[in-house]
Structure formats: structure tokens, C-alpha cells
């Protein structure tokens, strides 16, 4: 065995232990009727679990809710984050203080954020509906029409700072000369932003969007702390459905097959997004 | 030293040795998982008496919120040797855990425990711990539902508290004004709506499954119960309360913004407690049977784990805490009643919350049935609770929601 292989071997073994083995085991589980309360009676199902979940309305509903959540949250975070990053870049005084305040939400654990907003927006216990009611406005933030949107807003509150951080770093790394040339040529601020800033910032935007989207696909805590997937199944996301199936109903086979379908979809999306930027 | 003295000294030494050996063999460390609720505070206090009487048995309570408990019990039960020797089991878990082999069968131990009187536990609660004819759990406390009303409002308006569902619906509509909802409901998806609505289902004579296990959740009785529930929510519940659970409904009633609610029977003393959550309204609340009479029964049971290495000591504790004498002390201290003898004891009425309250609790418990039973009880609750929520929030029609519930419950079973 060459020296290079021998040096790589410990890392490869470690990775196999902590990543490949659990992945392979969950792959094996996804092909079986594997229930925690019937551990002595595990039956081979073949593609049965996959066939069931793909024909089940709950799975597609959870997937669709997740896509709406990811699309809505990441788009809003990108737009607001970019706006704030541009403003912060121009800020001369109190720059560090403004950044520190802006980044604070990111450091709170998501379950705490979920509980916090549950009590802020709850129609009976919440402060915000109380004051809105004083103004004559009644909004049921967790009603069937608004619940998913409210959860998107919570994610936007917590994770827009991440976008700001990424985009601000990107903006500050841009070369100055093209902007000076544009100013000399009399280009408007909007034209400069559209023709210079955006295209030059694109690689940073793609990376930020991919990282945020991958993270947003894992949304669980807000749903768990606030709506538990309801009303009806209006806020049931795929992670919550996987948790419910696997750890509440103990159907680990079904839950594992859902997780594999989700991984396949997200991988395909990431590759597609990455390839589309490479082609340009 | 004369012969007699030598004999006495020798006997004393042997006695000490035997006692020491016996203590060594009986010494046990019990790990008990328990939910962090007011009942636990009472049990913890009472247990000091047990450890005083059994210095060789050490008890460690692992108290935690409901959500964390089932996962911990599961991992402990799957392990070759138990983390927990005594667990408390919620009624939807009982059959699943017993059939999965997590729980120790208790028939023999109950039969050998003199004066234990298992038959004294109120029948519907007692039956929850019996799976396939064997006893796997003895009652810890109940959370059967009752109708809690603001008696002063009923008296003021000259209204009688209704005993059937149709009258209840019309009364809560009548009670609804701008500042007061007739009823604080709990239509939150899943457990809460199922727990509340199933009382309505009982009132119309329906059930989730019949005695042979056939799914009957899409019956005309269920449709009637759901239609009435939705009608009541729209007409008499606070606006925007579609996602309300226990906390919100209780607060609405305690703060005087709702006149009635279906809630756990032991919430009455909490609401009527001076300097409690209801403030000046304390003393104005009264408990009745749910409209229709038959109530949803929730119950927790004590069980000994099958993989425990301290089963004798575990049963010693469980049989002690649920014995007639200790159960009486627990109920006087504010615990939820389980035994007929305790709930009918004048001493308990006097030192507790009064004769009328305990008599109502007894009539609720005698005509109550579990929220869900079977191997997939937890899943059935979630399935039906999701479909009910979809119907109340108008995402589905009543017929479609019940049809989907029936299809999914059939698959889950």
C-alpha cells in the first residue's frame, strides 16, 4: 500500500463508520417493514415502502408544503438580505454595532425561536394580535390560510442575517475599478446594480442560496413548536412527516424511504442549480 | 457471662447477620420515569414515606415533559438491561407496549399482594391496563373529560346546564356575546381536537371502530358529531381559535372570556383555587358530565419494565403508591381519583374538594372510554385528529375528511 493510501485510510474508515454505515443501514431499513415495536418481526418489502409513499397524498402534500416554504423563505431572505447588505456597505458610522444587532437572531436556537413566535403571534396568548386587535385588526396568524406564510416569515426573521453576512462579504470583495468607471461614464445607480453588482455577485448569491435552501429543507422546529403540521395538514413539512412516521408511529421503513426520496430530490436540485451557473 | 446471656448475645449476632444479609439481597436502586406534572409533585412527596420505610430501596425519579418520555421509554425497553425499572404508561401506548414485550405481567404479583384490592380501581380505568386478559399496568391517575361551566352565568341567565349534545350546542350559542364566547374549544390538529371531539362522537352514539375492530369513523353518527362541532365552532367559539389547544382554552375560561369548556375533571379545583389562575372568578366554576354522558377517558398507569433487574422492588413501590391508604393521601393532596373506595370516602370529601365534586368525578369515570386503543392507537389519534382539523378549517368537506380518516385508520391497524 502506498504512503498516500495509508495516510488516507484512517479518514476513510472514520467516514465509513459515521456516514456510510448509517446511510447503508437506513437504505436497508427502507426496503423492509421495520417497526421499533416489532423488532423481532422485520419483513422484506422490496420497493413496497417507496411505492406506498409515492402513492400517498400526505407525502406529496408535505413535499409541496416544503417546496413552498423553501421557495418563499429563501427568495424573501435573498431580496431582504441583499437590500440590507447594500445599505450596510454604505454605512460609515456604527457599522459594527449595526452588524452585531442584525446578526443576533441567527444565534438563537430554532426551537426557541419557534416557541417565541408561538407566544408572540398566538391569537389568545400573543402580544402582536393583542395590539392589532386594539387597532381593530384581527389576524389569525396560524389559521389555514396564513400558517405556512407565518412560518416562512419566522424563518426570514431568523435567517436573513445569514444572507446579509454572505452577501456583504461578497460585496466587499468586489473590485472597485468597474464601479469607478461606471460612475465616470455617468451610469445610474440602478444600471450599475443591474449590470455590474448583480452579475459580479452571482457566484456568492448561488452559494448562499444553495446553503440556505439546503438548510430550509430541514425545517422542523418551527412546525413542531407552533402548529404540529396543522391546521389540517397546511404546515406539515416533509421533515415533520418523517419524524411523525418514524418516531411517533415507529414505522422506520416508511420514514427511511421518505428520507431517501427527499435526499434524491434535493441532490438533483443542487446539481441542477450548480450546473446552470457553471454553464454561464 | 452466664449461659443465658451468651445465648441471647449469640441469637442477637445471628439476627443482625441475617438482617444484614436480607438487606443486602433486597437493596435496590429504582429508576422511575415520570411526567413533570402536578401529580408528580404529590408522588414525590409521598415517596419520602416509602423510602423511610424501605431504607434499602433508593428511588430516583427522572421527571420530564410528555414529548420526551415515549422516546426514552422506547430506548430503555429496547436495551438488554433497563434504564428504567418503573415507567408510567399513557393509555394509547398500553396495548402497543404490552404486546411489544416491554412490560412485566402483574397478575401474579397483584394476587400475592394482601389487601391490594385491584377490583377497587374504577372499572374503565382498570381495564386500560389489561391487555389480552393480563394485567400490565395499575392506575396512576386519570384525565377523563368533564364539562366545566361558569355556574354564575348560567344562574344569572336562568339556564340549565345541558345534558345532551343538541341542547349544549344551542345553549353555548345563546351564551355567546361580543365579549364572551359560549365555549372555548380546542380544535388544534391531532391529539387535542380528537380528545375534544370524541366526546361529541360518543354523544351521537358513534365510535372509531366497532367491537370487532371494523372501522366506523365514516358513519352517519360521526358526520352528525362533526357537523355539530363545526357549527358550534363557527357560532360560539372565540374568533381565530382554530389552532387552540389546552393552554389557550383554559386561559379564555379563566379570564372570563368563555363560559364553558370540555376539560380534564381535575381542572375544576385549579380554576376554583383562591389566588389561582382564575383570579376573582375562583369559586364560580362547576363540573358536570360531558353532554351525552359518556366521556373520553385518559389514564396513566404504573408499569414494571420487562427488562428490569429490580422487579420485586419495583412492584413493592408500585403496589405501595397505589395501595388504598396511600392513594387516599394522594387524592386528598389534590391527585386525580382512581379507586372507588377513595372517591366515596367522606374523609376525602371533607379534606379534598367536597362531596359533589367527587361524586361527579365518579359518575364521569364510570361512564368513560379510552380515547383510542389497539396497537396503533397513537397513529389513529393523529390520523383522525388531522382529518377533523382539515374539516373544521374547511380544507375538506365533512364527508371527505371522515372517508379519508376511515381509509387511513384501516391501513394503520
pLDDT in tens, B284-304: 999 999 999 999 999 999 999
pLDDT in tens, B334-348: 999 999 999 999 999
In sequence order, which residues have a C-beta less than 8 Å from that of residue A144 and are 6 or more positions away? A231, A232, A234, B242, B393, B394, B395
**B189 to A138: CB separation less than 8 angstroms, yes or no:** no
Is residue B81 very low, low, confident or very high in pLDDT (cuts 50, 70, 90)?
A: confident
Return the C-alpha cell found at B129. Answer: 391496563
Q: Is A134 exposed, middle or buried (0-12, 13-18, 19+ CB in 10 A)?
A: exposed
State the Cα–Cα distance between residues B109 and B314, nearest whole angstrom.
11
pLDDT in tens, A73-83: 999 999 999 99
State the Cα–Cα distance between residues B332 and A251, nearest whole angstrom.
42
State the Cα–Cα distance between residues A74 and A85, nearest whole angstrom.
16
**B188 to A249: CB separation less than 8 angstroms, yes or no:** no
Mutate to test the interface with B, among A33, A34, A37 (most CBs of B within 10 A): A37
Checking if the pLDDT of A142 tops 90, the result is no
A50 with A258: CB under 8 angstroms? Answer: no
User: Residue A251 pairs with which residues in a beta bridge?
Assistant: A35
pTM: 0.81
Mutate to test the interface with A, among B188, B243, B390 (most CBs of A within 10 A): B243
B336-368 exposure pattern, b = at least 16 Cβ within 10 A, e = fewer = bbbbbebbebeebbeebbeeebbebbbebbbbb
- pLDDT score at B138: 98
* B23 and chain A in contact, CB less than 8 A: no
Checking if the pLDDT of B11 tops 80, the result is no
Return the C-alpha cell found at B340. Answer: 372507588
State the Cα–Cα distance between residues A134 and A132, nearest whole angstrom.
5
Q: Name the residue among A36, A138, A244 with its Cβ closest to that of B74.
A: A36
Q: Is A235 helix (H, G, I), strand (E, B) or coil?
A: coil
- pLDDT score at B79: 86
State the Cα–Cα distance between residues B260 and B165, nearest whole angstrom.
14
pLDDT in tens, A160-195: 999 999 999 999 999 999 999 999 999 999 999 999
B40-44 contacts, C-beta under 8 A, 24 or more apart: B42/B330, B42/B333, B42/B334, B42/B335, B43/B321, B43/B330, B43/B335
State the Cα–Cα distance between residues A198 and A192, nearest whole angstrom.
9
Checking if the pLDDT of B18 tops 50, the result is no
Q: Is B403 helix (H, G, I), strand (E, B) or coil?
A: helix
What are the distances in angstroms from CA A235 to CA A16, A139, A205, B307? 36, 17, 28, 39
State the Cα–Cα distance between residues A240 and A148, nearest whole angstrom.
13
State the Cα–Cα distance between residues B54 and B21, nearest whole angstrom.
15
Checking if the pLDDT of B21 tops 60, the result is no
- Across the range A1-20, mean pLDDT stands at 89
Estimate the crossing angle of helix B220-236 against helix B165-175, to 10 degrees: 10
Checking if the pLDDT of B309 tops 60, the result is yes
State the Cα–Cα distance between residues B65 and B397, nearest whole angstrom.
35
Q: Is A228 helix (H, G, I), strand (E, B) or coil?
A: coil
* Distance (Å) from the alpha carbon of A31 to chain B's nearest alpha carbon: 19
Is residue A280 very low, low, confident or very high in pLDDT (cuts 50, 70, 90)?
A: low
> Per CB distance under 8 Å, which residues of A are interface residues toward B?
36-39, 122-125, 129, 138-140, 142-144, 147, 227-234, 244, 247-250
B95-108 exposure pattern, b = at least 16 Cβ within 10 A, e = fewer = bbbbbbebbbebee
- pLDDT score at A193: 93
Return the DSSP state at A139: -
pLDDT in tens, A212-244: 999 999 999 999 998 888 888 899 999 999 999
Closest CA to B107 of B83, B73, B75, B130: B130
pLDDT in tens, B104-140: 999 999 999 999 999 999 999 999 999 999 999 999 9
ipTM of the complex, rounded to two decimals? 0.72
State the Cα–Cα distance between residues B192 and B226, nearest whole angstrom.
15
State the Cα–Cα distance between residues A213 and A277, nearest whole angstrom.
16
Strand segments (E) across chain A: 32-33, 43-44
Radius of gyration, alpha carbons of chain A: 23
B77 with B303: CB under 8 angstroms? Answer: no
Report, in this order, helix, strand and coil percent for chain A, each rounded to 5: 75, 0, 20
pLDDT in tens, B352-390: 999 999 999 999 999 999 999 888 899 999 999 999 999
Strands B134-135 and B299-304: unpaired
Checking if the pLDDT of B85 tops 90, the result is yes
**B382 to A244: CB separation less than 8 angstroms, yes or no:** yes
Choose between B284 and A38: higher pLDDT.
B284
Closest CA to B67 of B90, B42, B101: B90
- Across the range A58-63, mean pLDDT stands at 93
A223 with A236: CB under 8 angstroms? Answer: yes
* Mean pLDDT over the full length of chain A: 90
In sequence order, which residues have a C-beta less than 8 Å from that of residue B398 and are 6 or more positions away? B223, B226, B227, B230, B391
**A125 to B247: CB separation less than 8 angstroms, yes or no:** yes
- pLDDT score at A279: 61
**A248 to B379: CB separation less than 8 angstroms, yes or no:** yes
**B243 to A247: CB separation less than 8 angstroms, yes or no:** no
- Across the range B31-51, mean pLDDT stands at 94
pLDDT in tens, A92-108: 788 788 888 888 999 99
- pLDDT score at B23: 42
Under 8 Å CB pairs connecting chains A and B tally to 96
* B188 and chain A in contact, CB less than 8 A: yes
In sequence order, which residues have a C-beta less than 8 Å from that of residue B283 and are 6 or more positions away? B272, B274
pLDDT in tens, B141-172: 999 999 999 999 999 999 999 999 999 999 99
B262 with B147: CB under 8 angstroms? Answer: yes
Closest CA to A264 of A23, A18, A22, A5: A23
**B386 to A230: CB separation less than 8 angstroms, yes or no:** yes
State the Cα–Cα distance between residues B355 and B347, nearest whole angstrom.
10
Strands B295-297 and B368-370: parallel
Stretch (H or E) spanning B61: strand B57-64
Closest CA to A38 of B8, B313, B100, B205: B100
Checking if the pLDDT of A276 tops 80, the result is no
Strands A43-44 and A32-33: antiparallel
Whether the bond into A180 is cis, omega within 30 of 0: no
pLDDT in tens, B57-76: 999 999 999 888 988 998 89
Mutate to test the interface with A, among B93, B94, B240, B395 (most CBs of A within 10 A): B240
* B378 and chain A in contact, CB less than 8 A: yes
Radius of gyration, alpha carbons of chain B: 24
What are the distances in angstroms from CA B200 to CA A10, B293, B364, B373, B380? 63, 10, 15, 18, 17
Place of cell 423492509: A32
Residues of A in contact with B390 (CB under 8 A): 231-233
Q: Is B24 exposed, middle or buried (0-12, 13-18, 19+ CB in 10 A)?
A: exposed
State the Cα–Cα distance between residues A3 and A6, nearest whole angstrom.
5
* Mean pLDDT over the full length of chain B: 91
Stretch (H or E) spanning A59: helix A57-90
Checking if the pLDDT of B2 tops 60, the result is no
- pLDDT score at B25: 46
Checking if the pLDDT of A274 tops 80, the result is no
Amino acid at each position: 500500500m502506498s504512503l498516500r493510501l495509508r495516510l488516507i485510510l484512517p479518514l476513510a474508515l472514520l467516514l465509513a463508520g459515521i456516514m456510510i454505515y448509517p446511510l447503508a443501514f437506513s437504505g436497508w431499513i427502507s426496503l423492509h417493514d421495520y417497526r421499533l415495536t416489532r423488532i423481532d418481526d422485520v419483513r422484506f418489502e422490496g420497493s413496497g415502502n417507496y411505492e406506498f409513499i409515492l402513492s400517498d397524498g400526505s407525502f406529496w402534500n408535505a413535499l409541496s408544503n416544503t417546496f413552498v416554504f423553501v421557495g418563499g423563505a429563501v427568495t424573501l431572505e435573498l431580496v431582504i438580505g441583499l437590500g440590507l447588505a447594500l445599505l450596510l456597505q454604505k454605512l460609515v458610522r456604527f457599522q459594527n454595532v449595526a452588524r452585531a444587532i442584525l446578526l443576533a437572531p441567527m444565534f438563537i436556537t430554532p426551537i426557541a425561536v419557534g416557541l417565541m413566535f408561538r407566544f408572540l403571534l398566538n391569537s389568545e396568548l400573543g402580544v402582536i394580535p393583542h395590539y392589532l386587535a386594539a387597532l381593530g385588526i384581527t389576524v389569525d396568524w396560524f389559521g389555514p390560510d396564513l400558517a405556512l406564510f407565518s412560518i416562512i416569515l419566522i424563518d426570514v426573521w431568523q435567517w436573513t442575517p445569514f444572507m446579509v453576512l454572505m452577501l456583504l462579504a461578497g460585496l466587499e470583495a468586489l473590485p472597485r475599478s468597474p464601479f469607478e468607471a461606471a460612475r465616470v461614464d455617468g451610469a445610474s445607480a440602478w444600471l450599475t446594480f443591474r449590470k455590474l453588482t448583480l452579475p459580479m455577485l452571482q457566484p456568492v448569491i448561488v452559494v448562499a442560496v444553495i446553503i440556505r435552501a439546503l438548510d430550509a429543507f430541514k425545517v422542523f422546529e418551527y412546525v413542531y413548536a407552533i402548529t404540529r403540521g396543522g391546521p389540517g395538514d397546511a404546515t406539515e413539512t416533509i421533515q415533520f412527516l418523517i419524524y411523525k412516521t418514524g418516531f411517533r408511529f415507529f414505522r422506520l421503513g416508511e420514514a427511511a424511504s421518505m428520507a431517501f426520496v427527499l435526499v434524491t430530490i434535493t441532490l438533483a436540485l443542487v446539481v441542477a442549480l450548480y450546473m446552470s451557473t457553471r454553464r454561464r | 457471662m452466664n449461659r443465658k446471656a451468651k445465648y441471647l448475645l449469640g441469637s442477637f449476632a445471628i439476627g443482625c447477620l441475617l438482617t444484614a444479609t436480607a438487606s443486602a439481597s433486597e437493596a435496590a436502586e429504582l429508576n422511575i420515569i415520570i411526567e413533570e406534572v402536578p401529580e408528580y409533585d404529590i408522588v414525590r412527596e409521598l415517596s419520602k414515606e416509602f423510602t423511610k420505610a424501605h431504607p434499602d430501596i433508593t428511588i430516583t425519579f427522572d421527571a420530564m415533559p410528555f414529548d420526551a418520555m415515549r422516546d426514552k421509554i422506547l430506548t430503555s425497553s429496547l436495551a438488554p438491561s433497563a434504564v428504567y425499572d418503573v415507567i408510567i404508561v399513557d393509555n394509547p401506548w398500553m396495548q402497543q407496549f404490552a404486546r411489544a414485550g416491554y412490560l412485566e405481567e402483574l397478575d401474579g404479583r397483584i394476587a400475592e399482594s394482601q389487601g391490594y384490592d385491584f377490583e377497587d380501581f374504577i372499572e374503565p380505568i382498570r381495564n386500560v391496563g389489561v391487555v389480552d386478559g393480563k394485567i400490565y399496568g395499575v392506575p396512576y391517575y386519570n384525565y377523563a373529560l368533564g364539562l366545566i361551566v361558569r355556574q354564575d352565568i348560567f344562574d344569572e341567565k336562568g339556564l340549565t346546564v345541558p345534558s345532551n349534545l343538541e341542547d349544549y350546542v344551542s345553549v353555548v350559542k345563546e351564551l355567546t356575546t361580543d365579549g364572551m364566547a359560549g365555549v372555548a374549544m380546542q380544535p388544534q390538529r391531532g391529539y387535542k381536537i380528537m380528545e375534544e371531539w370524541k366526546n361529541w362522537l360518543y354523544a351521537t352514539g358513534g365510535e372509531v371502530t366497532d367491537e370487532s375492530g371494523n372501522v366506523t369513523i365514516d358513519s352517519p353518527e360521526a358526520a352528525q358529531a362533526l357537523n355539530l362541532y363545526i357549527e358550534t365552532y363557527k357560532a360560539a367559539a372565540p374568533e381565530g381559535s382554530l389552532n387552540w389547544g389546552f393552554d389557550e382554552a383554559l386561559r379564555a375560561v379563566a379570564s372570563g372570556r368563555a363560559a364553558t369548556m370540555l376539560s380534564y375533571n381535575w381542572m375544576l379545583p385549579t380554576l376554583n383555587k383562591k389566588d389561582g389562575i382564575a383570579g376573582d372568578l375562583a369559586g364560580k366554576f362547576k363540573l358536570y358530565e360531558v353532554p351525552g354522558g359518556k366521556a373520553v377517558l385518559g389514564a396513566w398507569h404504573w408499569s414494571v419494565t420487562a427488562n428490569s433487574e429490580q422487579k420485586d422492588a419495583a412492584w413493592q413501590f408500585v403496589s405501595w403508591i397505589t395501595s388504598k391508604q396511600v392513594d387516599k393521601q394522594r387524592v386528598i393532596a389534590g391527585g386525580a381519583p382512581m379507586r372507588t373506595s377513595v372517591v366515596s370516602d367522606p374523609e376525602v370529601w371533607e379534606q379534598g374538594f367536597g362531596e359533589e365534586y367527587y361524586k361527579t368525578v365518579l359518575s364521569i369515570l364510570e361512564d368513560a372510554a379510552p380515547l383510542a386503543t389497539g396497537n396503533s392507537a397513537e397513529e389513529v389519534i393523529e390520523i383522525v385528529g388531522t382529518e377533523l382539523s382539515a374539516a373544521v378549517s374547511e380544507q375538506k368537506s365533512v364527508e371527505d375528511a371522515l372517508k379519508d380518516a376511515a381509509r387511513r385508520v384501516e391501513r394503520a391497524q
